[in-house]
Amino acid sequence: MAMGYFNGKFIHSSDLVLPIEERGHQFGDGVYEFIRVYKGRPFMMNQHMERFFKSADAIRLNIGKTAEDIIAIVEDLIERSGETNCDVYMQATRGIAPRNHLFPNVEASISMTVKPFKLISDDIRAVGATVKLLPDERWQHCWIKSLNLLPNILAKQEAFEAGALEAVLVRDGFITEGSSSNFFIVKNGEILTAPATTHILHGITRMAVKEIALDLGINLKEQKFTPHELLAADEAFLSSTGLEILPVTKVDGQKIGNGRPGMVTVTLYEEFLKRV
């Protein structure tokens, strides 16, 4: 059953609960996290919690609960749902108050949902994904997992309408990340990904990729690279909670490498599956 949580109450996800003057609804004034649960266990939960609270601190939002409190709610919500393989979405906003740009003196509003997840199809994994390069038109603090995702949505939609699974964004001549993912290339057995600056989300699966590469003895550099370097790469792949690790074999109609998922990407994914 699709379950939800809103400010202390467990609800069905279709229940009407959002007050009209909730600041997430009116301003996008909040932060969120998206966590995948495998066999009843949230994957890399502590890392997700650390990022959730860092994002809240960055926008001066007092969540009003500890990480342990949030984890307990998540575990309760998963148990009530009866799901074992599912996605948990959570968000915290600056609360419910009459519309005013200034911070209100009210408690944060916390909501969550839990739903069964859908894995990327084996067909897509077998041939690799297509992506489209687009300008990175987001704000300067992409490391904050903010509710304000309109530029990401517009880029994702444009990519979809062009027949691509993801938009890969370019800022000042360098690739940053996907509209809802981190992005990597492989050249001569070495992995490159954009540095963890304010211009990219510090992805949890990105963190897992770094750890796996280290364990396997694969060199991984956090280093800027250009669209030209991408097109000359041997392999490319995306990472995110929802995509896990997904090979990219075509960019704007051009093949990457031999046009098939590469061995480095496949090996990383196999090791990722062992961890989950």
Please give the tally of structural domains in the chain: 2
pTM for this model (two decimals):
0.96
Q: Given this model, what pLDDT does residue 198 score?
A: 98
Give per-residue pLDDT as tens, 234-253. 999 999 999 999 999 999 99
Average pLDDT, the chain: 97
Q: 144: domain range? A: 122-275
Q: Which of 88, 116, 144 is the last residue of a domain?
A: 116
Q: Given this model, what pLDDT does residue 1 score?
A: 60
Whether residue 149 is found in the same domain as residue 76? no
Burial (CB < 10 A; 0-12, 13-18, 19+), residue 158, is middle
Q: Which of 95, 116, 137 is the last residue of a domain?
A: 116
Whether residue 154 is found in the same domain as residue 49? no
The alpha carbon of residue 197 and the mean position of all alpha carbons in its chain are separated, in whole angstroms, by 16
Give per-residue pLDDT as tens, 101-142. 999 999 999 999 999 999 999 999 999 999 999 999 999 999
Per-residue pLDDT, averaged over 139-156, amounts to: 98
Whether residue 251 is found in the same domain as residue 131? yes
Give per-residue pLDDT as tens, 208-217. 999 999 999 9
Whether residue 201 is found in the same domain as residue 72? no
- Ranges of H-type helices in the chain: 23-27, 45-58, 67-81, 122-127, 150-161, 204-216, 227-231, 263-275
Whether 146 shows a pLDDT value over 80: the answer reads yes
Q: What is the CATH number of the domain that holds 268?
A: 3.20.10.10
Give per-residue pLDDT as tens, 19-73. 999 999 999 999 999 999 999 999 999 999 999 999 999 999 999 999 999 999 9
List of E strands, 174-273: 174-178, 182-187, 190-193, 220-222, 235-240, 244-251, 254-255
Burial (CB < 10 A; 0-12, 13-18, 19+), residue 274, is exposed
Q: What is the CATH number of the domain that holds 92?
A: 3.30.470.10
Per-residue pLDDT, averaged over 264-274, amounts to: 98
Q: Given this model, what pLDDT does residue 104 score?
A: 97
Give per-residue pLDDT as tens, 84-106. 999 999 999 999 999 999 999 99
Q: Given this model, what pLDDT does residue 18 score?
A: 86
Backbone angles phi, psi at 265, to 5 degrees: -60, -45
- Name the band, by pLDDT with cuts 50, 70 and 90, for residue 14: confident
Q: Is 145 a catalytic residue?
A: yes
Task: Select which of 65, 132, 145, 221 is catalytic.
Answer: 145
Whether residue 100 is found in the same domain as residue 29? yes
- Name the band, by pLDDT with cuts 50, 70 and 90, for residue 2: confident
Whether residue 174 is found in the same domain as residue 252? yes
Whether 172 shows a pLDDT value over 70: the answer reads yes
Whether residue 22 is found in the same domain as residue 159? no
Whether residue 155 is found in the same domain as residue 92? no
Whether residue 128 is found in the same domain as residue 58? no
- Name the band, by pLDDT with cuts 50, 70 and 90, for residue 81: very high
Place of tokens 């990175």: 136
Q: Which of 99, 116, 133 is the last residue of a domain?
A: 116
Whether residue 185 is found in the same domain as residue 102? no
